[in-house]
A and B are shown apart, each in its own frame.
Chain A
Amino acid sequence: MPREHLLKIGVSGVRGVVGEFLTPALAASFAQAFGTYVGGARVVVGRDTRTSGPMLQRAVHCGLLAAGCEVVDVGILPTPTIQIYAGATLAGGGIALTASHNPPEYNALKLFNAQGLFFNNYERGDLLDLYHQRDFRQASNAEIRRIRRDYDSAPRLHFERVLQPVDVERIRRCRFRVALDAVNGAGSLLSCRFLAEILNCELHAISVEPGKPFPRIAEPRPDTLGDLADLVKRTGAAVGFAQDPDGDRLAVADETGRILDNDDVLALVVDAALRRLPGDVVVNLTTSAAIDDIARAHGRRVWRTPVGEANVVEMMQAVGAVIGGEGSNGGIIFPAVHLCRDSYTGMAFLLDRMAETGEPVSALAGRLPRYFRRLGQVAYEHGRLGPLMQALEESFPQARLDRTDGLKLTLPEGWIHVRASNTEPLLRLAAEAGAEDALERLYARVGQALAVPS
C-alpha cells in the first residue's frame, strides 16, 4: 500500500493507520483546531469500538479542553446517534472517532457542526486552514472546562425519532424473528436493545460484543455477509440486518438468506418513506434508476448529486428532501430523524413495511423495478484521466451527459458512471440497465473506450 494512504488529512477530516501515522499529538492538534473553530463551545465526543478508540478519544479530549471547550463524552455509540445528540443538545459541534467501514488498523476523526451535520466543503476548508496555521485557542487554567459524561440520553433521543414515523405496536405484535450481525461495532448493544426490547423481535444476533475485534470485513456487502446469510437460514429468520462498525450503513438479507443489493434496500426504504411523507428524493449519481421509477410512481422528483454523504446531505437540505441516500454503500438518510446515514431508520422502515403488508422481504424486493447492475474499477496513469473521459464521451455520442462527478452517460437502455477515486489512481465504473444483455453490451463498450480488458 502506498505510504501516503496511511495518513490522510483532508477535507473529510483525519483518517489514518493508528500508531506511526495517526498519532495522539496529531489527533489532539486537529481537535484543538476544531475547538478553536467552534470558539471554545461545548463539543460532543463519541466513538466506535475500535481498539484505538480509547487512546484517540483521550487525545481529542486533551485538544478540545486545551481550546477551552466543554467536552461531553457520550461513549461508544453509532455515528448517527452521536450526530443526533450533538444537534439536539445545541452543542457547538461533535467529533466521532470512527473509520466507519475501514479495516481495524485505521481510525479517523469525523467532524460535525452545531447542527450535528458533516461539515460542508467550505467549513472543512476553513478548519483545515486553521489546523495548518497552528494558531489555536490556548485556554488558561481558569478557562479550562470539564468533561461531562452522558451515556444514556443519546440512544433514547435517536430511537424516539426513528420510531416516530412507524407503527411500533404493529411491529411488536408481529414478533418478527430477526437475525443481526453488528460486526462487534458501536451498534452491538444498542441494536440488540432496539430490535429485541423496543420492537419485540425474536432476535438471533452474532458479533454483538463491542470489546472483540471485527470478525469480518467491516464493510457490509453481499460478499462479506456469509455468516449473516447462514444465520438467517439456520434460524428461519424473516429478515437479517448487518451494520458497519459505526452503525451508519445497513445491509439486509431476505428470509431465504439472500443479501439484497444495497440499491434495492434504499429503494424499499424510499418507497416506504414516500408512502408516509410528501417530498422529493436525493440520491447520488451512482444510485439505481429504480429510485426514479419509485419517485415517479409517487409523483415526486429525484435530485442527483456527486458521490459522498456530505454531497447528498447538502442537496437534501437545499431542496428540503424527505428521503435520500447512496445506493451502492447502504446509506439511508431520513431527515425526519437526522440528515445523516442511519441504519436504524432502515431497520424500522423495513420491519414496518413487513408488518403493514404481511409479505416476506423477498416479495417486497421482488416487486421493485428490475435493473441489472455491474460495478468495476480500472487503474489509470496520472495525467491520462482527461483523454480517457474524452474517449468515453466520444464513443457514446447519443448519450445524455452529466459531468458533476466524473462522467455519467444516460442512454435509453441504461446508464454508465465513471469517476476517479478520491484516494487512489483508480477509475470507478458503474453501469445499470433494464436487461442483462443490455448491461453486458454497455459494460463492454465502456471497456473498449477505456481500453480495459473485460
Chain B
Amino acid sequence: MSAAARSLRISQVGLRGIVGSGLTATHALEFASAFGTFLDTPGPVILGRDPRSSGLMLREGVIASLLACGRDVIDLGVVPTPVVQHAINRLNAAGGVSIGASHNASEWNALKFFGPRGSYLSSAQAGELLDIYHLKKFDFVEWDRLGKLEEAGDAVDRYLEDLATAYDFDSLRRYRVLVDCCNGTSALILRRMNERFGFAFILINERTEGVNFAHDPATTRDMVALQLAPLMKPLGAGAGFLFDADSDRVALADEEGRPVSEEMVLPLLADYLLPRGAGKLVITNLSTTALLEEVAARHGGKVVRVPVGRQAATDALSSYRPEQIALAGEGTGAVMMPRFRFVYDGIASMLAVLSMMEERGQRLSAILDGYPRYSILKGGVPMVSQRIPKLLVELRERYSDGEVNATDGLRVAWPDRWFHVRVSQTEPLVRIICEQRGDPPTALYESLVEQVRRLA
C-alpha cells in the first residue's frame, strides 16, 4: 500500500488524510452523515473551512449529508476554526464542522467535529460517532423535512466583537506586529482587525491560497526562521507571529529577529495567566517542555500531563471544574485559555502574549530571556506496529532509574532532563523527544534514536 493511501486516519478527533489518494468524497459524505445522525440536540450545524482547494469539495459533501439528515446548515465560508467554534456557541447551534488540515501541507485535509457550545467531543461521544460511521446506518429524513442551507458572512465580526471584550484592544493596537499568515485564514481576521479596530498588523503571505502555500503551515521554530524572523528588525516589529492554516496554533519571533521555540508559547502564557486567576492547573501532554513545571512552581501552579493529542486534553479538561484550570495546551503552539473559552485559538493566544508585554512594559525578548534555557531535540523513526510493545519494555528496563510514565508510549524523567518515546497518531513513526535544562541532551538523544532504530 502506498504511503499516500495510508495517509487516511479516521479517529476520535475526526478524519484526515491526503485528498484523493487517502481522504475521498465518500469518506466526507459518510462521516458527515454519521455526525448528522449522532447529533441529538436541536439547532443548526455551523460549517467553516480553511482555504485549501479540496475544502470546497469536502464542504459540498458535508452540506449534502447534513441536509439529508434534516439539519439546517450555516456555512461561514473560509474562516479560522476558532471562529467556527465561536459561532456554534453564539448561535446556540447543535454542533459544527471545521474543514482544514491546520499545520499540514496543502495536499492534506481534515474534518473536525464539534458539539454544542463549540466544545470538542468527549472520548465517549467520539466513540459513538465512530460506531455510527462504521455501522453506516444513517438517519436520513424524508423529502419534506430536509435541512436548509444559509450562508453567513458576519461570523468574523461577531467573533472579534467578543474578543474585544476579553482583551484590551485600545492598548494592544499600537503594537507594531508582523504576522506570517502562511496563506491561511488568520489573514482574514487580522486584516479585519486593522480595518475595524485600527490594529497595526503587518501581514506577509496574506493571500489565502488553495494550493501553493508559501511554506508548510507548521508552527515550528524552523518555519518562523524561514521568512518571519529575518523581517523583524528591518520592519521594526515589536513581536512576530506565525499561524497555521486554520489559526488554532501560533509560533513566535521576538523583536531581535530570533525565532522562538514552539515549546515556549505555553510556558509564556502559563506565566501570564497563572497569577491572574484562581485556576492553578496547567494541562499539557507528555511531550511538552519541562520548563512548564518550573514556571508553574513560581506561581504555586501544578502541571497535569496527559497523553498526546487533542482527545486526551479534552477528556482531562472535563475532569476538572473550569475554575480550577489556568490553561491547557501543547508544545505545538496550540493553547486553550479560560478567558476566551476553552478552545485552541491562535488569535487569542497572540493577544494574550501582547497583553503580557503591555502589562509588564517589557519587550518580548526581555520576557523570554527571563526563563532558564531548555534544549529540546525531536525526531522520528519508521516503525513496524507489532514490534512496539517490545521496544517500550526494553527501554523501560534500560532507563529504570528515572521517573516513568507509561500512559502514552514511555516517558522517563530525571531532575534535569527527560525523554518521551511514543507512536505518532498521524504517521507510521515512532517519535523521540528529548529535553534537557541547559545544553541539548545530544548523547541521550542519539542513543535513543539508535535503540529505536534497532528495535522498532
Footprint of B on A, CB under 8 Å?
A: 17-20, 23-25, 27-29, 32, 50-52, 54-56, 58-59, 61-63, 65-66, 104-105, 107, 138-147, 213
**Interface size, chain B (Cβ < 8 Å):** 40
Contact residues of B between 47 and 86, Cβ < 8 Å to A: 52-54, 56-58, 60-61, 63-65, 67-68
* 10 tightest A-B CB contacts, nearest first: A62-B61, A59-B64, A65-B57, A66-B25, A138-B20, A58-B64, A24-B64, A62-B60, A55-B67, A61-B60
B246 within 8 A of A: no
Is the C-beta of B138 less than 8 angstroms from some C-beta in chain A?
Answer: yes
Q: Note all chain A residues with C-beta closer than 8 A to B142.
A: 18-19, 105
Is B223 among interface residues, defined by CB-CB distance under 8 A?
Answer: no
Residues from chain B with a CB closer than 8 A to the CB of A143 are 20
Interfacial chain A residues near B377, Cβ < 8 Å = none
Q: Is residue B297 contacting chain A, with contact meaning CB distance below 8 A? A: no
The stretch among B28-36, B359-367, B413-421 that forms the contact with chain A is B28-36
Q: Are A62 and B64 CB-contacts (below 8 A) given A25-B30, A28-B25, A141-B211?
A: yes
> A24: which B residues are within 8 A, CB to CB?
29, 33, 61, 64-65, 67-68
Tell whether, in the assembled complex, residue B143 and residue A18 are in contact, meaning their CB atoms are under 8 Å apart.
Answer: yes
User: A residues within 8 A CB of B20?
Assistant: 66, 138-141, 143
* Distance in angstroms between the alpha carbons of A145 and B67 in the assembled complex: 23
B residues 13-38 in Cβ contact with A at 8 Å: 18-21, 24-26, 28-30, 33
Interface residues of B in 221-268 (CB under 8 A from A): none
B186 within 8 A of partner (CB):
no
> Nearest Cβ in chain A — how far from B387, in angstroms?
32
A66 contacts which chain B residues (CB < 8 A)?
A: 20, 24-25, 57, 61
By beta carbon, the residue of chain A nearest B19 is A141
Q: How far is the CA of A107 from the CA of B143 in the complex (A)?
A: 9
- From residue A412, how far is it (CB to closest CB) to chain B in Å? 50
> Does B146 lie at the interface of the complex (its beta carbon under 8 Å from any beta carbon of A)?
yes
Contact A32 B25 (CB under 8 A): yes
Q: Does B216 contact A (CB under 8 A)?
A: no
- Is the Cβ of A144 less than 8 Å from the Cβ of B56? yes
Q: How far is the CA of A62 from the CA of B144 in the complex (A)?
A: 23
Question: CB-CB < 8 A to B210: which residues of A?
Answer: 141, 144
Task: Please state if A59 and B54 are interface contacts (CB–CB under 8 Å).
Answer: no
CB distance from A357 to the nearest CB of B (A): 45
The answer to whether A28 and B146 have CB atoms under 8 Å apart is no
A-B interface pairs (CB < 8 A), number: 132
Which residues on B are within 8 Å of A, measured CB to CB?
A: 18-21, 24-26, 28-30, 33, 52-54, 56-58, 60-61, 63-65, 67-68, 106-109, 138, 140-144, 146-149, 210-211
Q: Is the CB of A65 within 8 A of B60?
A: yes
A55 neighbours in B (Cβ, 8 Å): 63-64, 67-68, 146-147
Which chain B residues border A139 with CB–CB below 8 Å?
19-20, 57
Partner among B28, B30, B52 whose Cβ is within 8 Å of the Cβ of A141:
B52
Ordered by A's residue number, 15 sampled pairs between the chains whose C-beta atoms are within 8 Å are A18-B68, A20-B140, A23-B140, A24-B61, A27-B64, A29-B26, A52-B146, A65-B60, A66-B24, A66-B57, A105-B142, A105-B144, A138-B24, A139-B20, A141-B109
B54 CB contact (under 8 Å) in A25, A28, A52, A144: A144
With A25-B30, A28-B61, A142-B211 known, 16 other A-B pairs at CB within 8 A are A19-B141, A24-B33, A25-B26, A51-B143, A59-B64, A62-B25, A66-B61, A139-B20, A139-B57, A140-B19, A140-B21, A141-B54, A141-B107, A144-B210, A146-B53, A147-B56
Query: Which residues on the A side are within 8 Å of B25 (C-beta)?
Result: 28-29, 32, 62-63, 65-66
CB within 8 Å for A59 and B53 given contacts A19-B143, A25-B26, A51-B146? no
CB pair A65–B21 under 8 Å, yes or no, is: no
A138 contacts across to B, CB distance below 8 A: 20-21, 24
- Among residues of A, the one whose C-beta sits closest to the C-beta of B58 is A62
Q: How far is the CA of A65 from the CA of B25 in the complex (A)?
A: 9
**Pairwise interchain contact A28-B140, C-beta atoms closer than 8 A:** no
A7 to chain B, nearest CB (A): 12
Instruction: Give the chain B neighbours of A58 by CB distance below 8 A.
Output: 60-61, 63-64, 67, 149
Contact A65 B56, beta carbon cutoff 8 Å: yes
> Please, which residues of chain A bring their CB within 8 A of the CB of B68?
18-19, 23-24, 55, 59
